Copies of this chain bind each other. A is one copy, B any other.
Amino acid sequence: MGRPGRRPGPTSSREDILAAARALFAEKGFDKASIRAIARRAEVDPALVHHFYGTKEELFVTAVEFPVDPALIVPQIIAGPRAEIGERLVRTFLGVWDDPRAQPRLLGLLRSTTTEQGAALLREFVSATILNRVAEVLDVPRLNITATAAQMVGVVMLRYVLAMEPMASASPDELVALLAPTIQRYLGG
């Protein structure tokens, strides 16, 4: 795969691609880091990047160890009766964040938003893979999508980062009862 003078081999290429992806995502953000540029940095063919890691989104999920696959989560929220989208979104969201395998990494990614770069990276990834897709399907104003994101990001801050009671210890059912009607109003159409 065109790396003369160095020992080739799939393991080395796999790792080179991940390292190149991490570097380029950090430097250029999610939108501007192309598979082509990542391949060039890793000195491999772009086809090999796709072969190992799939789409740019899937490569990002692997490279930054994003603990949730938006391609699985988004359909879960969008599917089902529109009249229950508020409840589905809140339950799915809490299910991901309450999961002790995902939570530490998600908190780490949230902390990375304290730099301009980290903020841009997470903003672009979440926009491209979650918000834009939800907006496309639901046909509500884009501002309503961001109001939904704001409510849920705030829950993350109070429940998991600041550990503010009683939000921190509330059961998923209590939170669904309180928050689902809010999200329903934003996304119900």
| Contact partners of A82 in chain B: CB under 8 A | none
| Contact partners of A155 in chain B: CB under 8 A | 147, 150, 154
Query: Is the CB–CB distance between B166 and A158 below 8 Å?
Result: no
Given contacts A144-B178, A185-B182, contact A157 B163 (CB under 8 A): no
Query: Is the CB–CB distance between A146 and B123 below 8 Å?
Result: no
Q: Is A70 an interface residue (CB 8 A)?
A: no
Q: Is A1 an interface residue (CB 8 A)?
A: no
Partner of A150, one of B111, B147, B151: B151
Give the copy number: 2
Partner of A162, one of B123, B166, B178: B123
Partner of A114, one of B111, B123, B142, B150: B111
Interchain CA distance A127-B164 in the complex, whole Å: 8
User: Shortest CB–CB separation between residue A53 and chain B, in angstroms?
Assistant: 26
Interchain CA distance A146-B186 in the complex, whole Å: 19
Query: Is the CB–CB distance between B143 and A150 below 8 Å?
Result: no
Interchain CA distance A151-B154 in the complex, whole Å: 6
User: Shortest CB–CB separation between residue A145 and chain B, in angstroms?
Assistant: 9
List 22 A-B residue pairs with CB atoms under 8 Å apart, sorted by A's residue number: A111-B114, A122-B162, A123-B163, A127-B164, A142-B166, A143-B174, A143-B178, A144-B178, A146-B164, A146-B166, A149-B154, A150-B151, A150-B155, A150-B158, A150-B159, A151-B182, A152-B154, A153-B154, A153-B157, A157-B157, A178-B186, A182-B182
A residues near B, CB below 8 A?
A: 111, 113-114, 119, 122-123, 127, 142-144, 146-147, 149-155, 157-159, 161-167, 170, 174, 178-179, 181-182, 185-186
